[in-house]
A and B are shown apart, each in its own frame.
Chain A
Amino acid sequence: MTLKMDTLLADGVTIVACTGRIVFGEEASGLRESLKKLLETTKRIVLNLSGVTYIDSGGLGTLVGVYSSARAQGADIKLTGLGQRLRDVLAITKLATVFEVYDTEQEAIAAFKGSRS
């Protein structure tokens, strides 16, 4: 497995810092299972992808899948720390209009506070 996930709680928001590659296979399923588990106890997750070097089509599918199920249960996942390549991919696939993307962790956390969701 080439994906590491570190979880940290700040101001009632769970921050998940990912390091490595999010690719189809055990990395994508690992991410899905971890986030699913977190969603049992929290409704506010910030996914920091600054340590992620590569996301393939399967990994992207997983991100959207987890995001959709979070929204369906009244929770939210916001993204931060996106590299240029991931920004490009989100732009091409128009997924940038689906995810809420922030430049910094602080901005993402602040967005949760503002929304009071």
Chain B
Amino acid sequence: MKGGFSPFPLGLIPVIICTQEESRVLRLMAFQPISGITSDPGSGVFPSLIYVQGNEQRSIVMNRTPFSVGRKVDKDLVIPDPRVSRDHALIVAENGDFFVVDQGSKHGTYVNGERVQRQRLQRNDRVEFGVRDVAYVIFSPQHATSNTAREFLSQISGIQISTDTTDLEKLTLFLEAARKLNTVGVLDEILVTLVDTTLKLTRAERGYVFLKDEEGNLRLAAGRNSKGEALLDDKTISHSILDEAMKSNSEFLFTDTSQSLDLAVRQSIVAYDLRTVICLPLRKPQVQTFRDASNPAEAEVMGALYLDSRFASRDISSVSHDILRVIATDTASLIENARLVQAEEASRRYQQELAIAASIQQRLMAVTIPEVPFARMRGRNLSCKEIGGDFFDVVHTEDGLAVVLADVSGKGVSAAVLASTLQGMVYAHLIARMKLTDIMASVNRFFTQKHLGEKYATVIITRIRKDGELEYVNCGHVPPLLVSQGSVMRPQHGNLPVGLLADATYEGDRVQMKPGDRFILVTDGVTEAENAAGDFYDNERLEEIAAKSPTLEDIFASVSTFCAGAPLGDDCTVVELEYTG
């Protein structure tokens, strides 16, 4: 997951917009916003809005207050409708709440259908500005996934199996259920619920989960107090204890001011008025059989669970060590599972991207055969893999009907990328009515200058004129077949493939076609189609069927009969150009 974990699930962020007076209060409480999270829509300090207009909707992060709405173009939200006043309304923040304030608009401001002057906004409120129904704003909507996941989790954590169920059993139950959750973005929800449950179990005042990011730095992933309120990173968290816990070999670190001898630790505890700190390093779960219980430090540390209480509040020094041990190991495996789910999601998206690329490739390779009065063209490709290196294309210009057939070395995505580039170049050059030999020289120059690592292509390009004169340039391809009145000739003229040698030169040849003559181009996948005995289909069989049958289907049928079920080792492409006169 790029950029580490979102530190808070949507909507659980304490709002830190305040007057100077409030700011002083907040500073006393020592809340510190984490830098870098405000730009993340949905998880930042500001709430998001969903603006719905007709069938379209977009998400807007309120990145400032007052947030202005109106018809004027300098508004934060511009609604271009005559029923919306120029300065229609403002959304302002006060004491951590958000209010919508009408600015004396002509058609009014509505919250959930009621006209208001000033109204505190709540999650999912529908706000309308003058124009009703056509355009409106949903305030701080709940994320659909988060919603379901959170509801589900709260159901589990609130469940009462029987009166005998201990908190520990409940936690285990919760962890079990959470593991089965397969929802994206569920990690944040799991962490929050986990901290809440842990606070309940340990009776600690505050709880935080820190996770290591890609650089190995600890980042706050969730923070809650015993009242169930979200907490941001805080200077009163003893980072010296956190660091020590990460380095230590023990299962957890338990620090009491009366016991600690370490001066630095003592100082930070005393400075922040903390009574007890419990810090549990979260280690990557290992396969049971390889696990050496006596040396848990060998497992990779992925983060820490930090719990504390201040002098002024309850004492958590009596928390059972068993409970802590269970929490530490189960939290680790829970996070690991959630991360696996996220990795799976990332890989699923990657697969989707590939599928999109494949479909673009297919559309690029799709050929629309132009209708020309003097010639008929047919082509067929049989790919052995999903994305192959064979392609053909056809372009009609005033010079005649041009056909290109290419076979890029290698297979898969790399071959497809090269095939697309080659196809684009040839197409553009043909449209520009360049000489066929110049086209090939240009492509060769491009490919050899780009150092594509031994990638090259065999290409045959041909153009037939109205009068039946056919020019071809063969660059490393199987010789074409010229079928004339039942006999087959193989025009032998050829050149080096393109992309192999920078100083290669290209020459063409011409043949005169008579009405009914066919010029057939094939890739070596056809002639080198192998049967189970290891024999090649080869040129003789190809020539025989080409002389006998006028359809491409018969050629493919003949290859398929020959192979008798042996899988194709390479793409097979056949293109036929018939001169009709």
Contacts and interface: CB of A to CB of B under 8 A. Distances in A.
B501 A92 contact: no
A61 interface: yes
A60 B457 CA distance: 11
Interface string A25-49: 0001000000000000000000000
B496 to A, nearest CB: 5
B500 A24 contact: no
B476 A61 contact: no
A92 B455 contact: no
Contacts of A50: none
B251 interface: no
Contacts of A1: none
Contacts of A98: 496, 501
A28 B456 CA distance: 15
A64 interface: yes
Nearest to A89: B524
A92 B460 CA distance: 12
A58 interface: yes
Given A64-B500, A98-B496, A58 B479 contact: no
Nearest to B479: A92
A59 B497 CA distance: 14
A95 interface: yes
A68 interface: yes
Contacts of B407: 57
Contact of A57 (B410, B479, B495): B410
Contacts of A116: none
B409 A58 contact: yes
A61 B479 contact: no
Size class of the contact patch on chain B:
20 to 34
A61 B496 CA distance: 12
B394 interface: no
A16 B419 CA distance: 34
A94 B454 contact: no
Contacts of A58: 409-410, 454
Interface in A52-72: 57-58, 60-62, 64-65, 68
Contacts, number: 49
B477 A92 contact: yes
B409 A94 contact: no
Interface residues of A, number: 16
Contacts of A62: 454
B520 to A, nearest CB: 16
Contact of A68 (B409, B495, B501): B501
Contacts of A92: 476-479, 494
A37 B494 CA distance: 34
A93 B410 contact: no
Contact of B454 (A61, A93, A95, A97): A61
Task: Name the residue among B411, B454, B477 with the largest chain A CB count within 10 angstroms.
Answer: B454
Contacts of A65: 453-454, 500
A24 B455 CA distance: 10
A-side interface mostly:
helix
Given A92-B477, A92-B478, A57 B409 contact: yes
B197 interface: no
Nearest to A91: B494
B501 A64 contact: yes
B458 interface: yes
A94 B496 contact: yes
A95 B455 contact: no
Given A58-B454, A68-B501, A95 B409 contact: no
A94 B410 contact: no
Contacts of B455: 61
A12 to B, nearest CB: 28
A24 B479 contact: no
Contacts of A68: 500-501
A94 B494 contact: yes
Contact of A61 (B456, B478, B494, B524): B456
A115 to B, nearest CB: 20
Contacts of B456: 57, 61, 64
A64 B454 contact: yes
Contacts of A24: 409-411
B501 A61 contact: no
Residue of B476, B497, B500 ringed by the most chain A CB atoms within 10 A? B500
Interface centre among A28, A61, A93 (most CB of B within 10 A): A93
Contacts of B411: 24
Contacts of B476: 92-95
B310 to A, nearest CB: 63
A92 B407 CA distance: 14
Contacts of B478: 92
A92 B478 CA distance: 6
Interface of A: 24, 28, 57-58, 60-62, 64-65, 68, 92-95, 97-98
Interface of B: 407, 409-411, 453-456, 458, 476-479, 494-497, 500-501, 524
26 contacts: A24-B409, A24-B411, A28-B454, A57-B407, A57-B409, A57-B410, A57-B458, A57-B524, A58-B454, A60-B409, A61-B409, A61-B454, A64-B454, A64-B456, A65-B454, A65-B500, A68-B501, A92-B476, A92-B477, A93-B458, A93-B497, A94-B476, A94-B495, A95-B476, A95-B496, A98-B501
User: Which 3 A-B residue pairings sit nearest by Cβ, starting from the closest?
Assistant: A61-B454, A93-B476, A57-B409
Given A24-B410, A93-B458, 8 more contacts: A57-B410, A57-B458, A61-B500, A92-B476, A92-B479, A92-B494, A94-B476, A98-B496
